[in-house]
């Protein structure tokens, strides 16, 4: 039998945590043959609720779940960790400036980065879900100088899945007919869902929709879907966010299908003119357990402007975090 994989979930008592943990324990994160040991990291006020979730996990009698540890100490949580899902973050509250938000999250993601640096396993893979996800991932990575930068990623897979669903709905085609869709840039309202390189049944997606829909309906709908969910559900996306986190890590470990790609925010190597070192969303494939940027795509003038705008926002966030001494 294989040794259990240590999976850390931060913010485990939150709503995404609740939607995520049962799926991990049932084998959907790493596959049906891989036992997992869950490490739940919470702040002290969240520990009791995390213990309650652990009782429910126990009651599921998942054959793949080999144990659950609960802690409020990052060093303990990440010791020997193979996968880290960094969900807990400091939300933006009313009247909070971006600088305050970045500083508060620096106080979470820098210590977690140090804990990862100190004790995580050599194959550690980090997915940051907590917002501002891209820059939080950058902060954690900077605090973990001994861990290769490419092990730190941020989630744009929910945006990717939202875009797939919107396009499938518009064209009344099954989701499986759509390939090669890309989210570029930041997981924020500036993100750019790109249909110009996407294909529906092997033909250009952009050519099958009218330009006004693509530019004035599709893009804002995808970029503002989080706000729509809050408006309609009365709470922010949770199960769909957890689902996207599962998709991201599953593909990272197991590979992406031939002839297609997905979207993930990974450290830029300068491809497509994206500032080197920022964690920005790209079209990616996963090969032998590593994300690779899909190279050589055509970027038209419209796409260029959109990508540049989102990248500029990420560069600004990096400058702000630098000024705070977090990089």
Nearer to ligand NAX, 2 or 45 (CB): 45
Directed axis angle between helix 15-25 and helix 239-254, to 10°? 40
Q: How far is the CB of 243 from ligand NAX (least distance, A)?
A: 11
Q: How far is the CB of 236 from ligand NAX (least distance, A)?
A: 5
Residue among 39, 90, 125, 187 flagged as catalytic: 187
Q: Report which of 116, 121, 118 is spatially closest to residue 4, judged by C-alpha positions.
A: 121
Whether the CB-CB separation of 113 and 135 falls below 8 Å is answered with: no
Cβ neighbourhood burial of 170 (10 Å; 0-12, 13-18, 19+): middle
Is 187 marked active-site?
yes
202 belongs to an annotated ligand binding site: no
Q: How far is the CB of 43 from ligand NAX (least distance, A)?
A: 5
> Which position among 5, 7, 9, 13 is part of the footprint of ligand NAX (CB under 6 A)?
13
Q: How far is the CB of 220 from ligand NAX (least distance, A)?
A: 17
Choose one: 124-132, 177-185, 194-202, 207-215; the region binding ligand NAX (CB under 6 A): 124-132
Q: How far is the CB of 320 from ligand NAX (least distance, A)?
A: 18
Q: Confirm or reject binding of residue 130 to ligand NAX (CB under 6 A).
A: yes
> Which position among 131, 166, 188, 281 is part of the footprint of ligand NAX (CB under 6 A)?
131
Q: Confirm or reject binding of residue 14 to ligand NAX (CB under 6 A).
A: yes
Which positions from 151 through 190 interact with ligand NAX, judged by CB under 6 A? 155, 158, 187
Q: Confirm or reject binding of residue 11 to ligand NAX (CB under 6 A).
A: yes
105 belongs to an annotated ligand binding site: yes
> Which position among 88, 106, 185, 283 is part of the footprint of ligand NAX (CB under 6 A)?
88
> Which position among 3, 31, 43, 228 is part of the footprint of ligand NAX (CB under 6 A)?
43
Whether the CB-CB separation of 52 and 46 falls below 8 Å is answered with: no
Q: Confirm or reject binding of residue 246 to ligand NAX (CB under 6 A).
A: no
Cα–Cα distance for residue pair 241/75, rounded to 1 Å: 26
Position closest to ligand NAX via CB: 14
Residues serving a catalytic function are 187
Q: Enumerate binding residues for ligand NAX (CB under 6 A).
A: 10-11, 13-17, 41-43, 46, 87-89, 91, 108, 129-131, 133, 155, 158, 187, 226, 236-238, 241
């Amino acid at each position: 039998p294989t040794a259990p994989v240590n999976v850390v979930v931060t913010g485990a008592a939150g709503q995404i945590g609740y939607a995520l943990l049962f799926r991990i324990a049932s084998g959907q994160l790493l596959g049906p043959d891989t036992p997992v040991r869950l490490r739940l990291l919470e702040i002290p006020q969240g520990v009791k609720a995390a213990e309650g979730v652990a009782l429910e996990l126990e009651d599921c009698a998942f054959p793949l779940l080999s144990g659950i540890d609960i802690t409020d100490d990052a060093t303990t949580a990440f010791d020997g960790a193979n996968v880290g899902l960094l969900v807990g973050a400091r939300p933006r509250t009313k009247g909070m400036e971006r600088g305050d938000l970045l500083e508060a999250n620096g106080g979470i993601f820098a210590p977690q980065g140090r804990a990862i640096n100190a004790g995580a396993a050599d194959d550690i893979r980090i997915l940051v879900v907590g917002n501002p996800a891209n820059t939080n991932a950058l902060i954690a990575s900077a605090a973990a100088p001994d861990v290769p930068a490419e092990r730190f990623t941020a989630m744009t897979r929910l945006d990717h899945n939202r875009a797939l669903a919107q396009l499938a709905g518009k064209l009344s085609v099954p989701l499986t007919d759509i390939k090669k869709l890309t989210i570029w840039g930041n997981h924020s309202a500036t993100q750019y869902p790109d249909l110009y390189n996407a294909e529906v049944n092997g033909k250009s997606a952009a050519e099958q929709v009218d330009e006004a829909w693509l530019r004035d309906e599709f893009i804002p709908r995808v970029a503002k879907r989080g706000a729509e969910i809050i408006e309609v559900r009365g709470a922010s996306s949770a199960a769909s966010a957890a689902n996207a986190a599962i998709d991201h890590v599953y593909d990272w470990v197991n590979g992406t299908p031939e002839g297609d790609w997905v979207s993930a925010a990974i450290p830029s190597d300068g491809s497509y003119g994206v500032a080197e070192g920022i964690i920005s969303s790209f079209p990616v494939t996963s090969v032998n357990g590593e994300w690779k940027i899909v190279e050589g795509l055509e970027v038209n003038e419209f796409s260029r402007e959109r990508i540049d705008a989102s990248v500029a926002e990420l560069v600004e966030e990096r400058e702000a975090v630098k000024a705070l001494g977090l990089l």
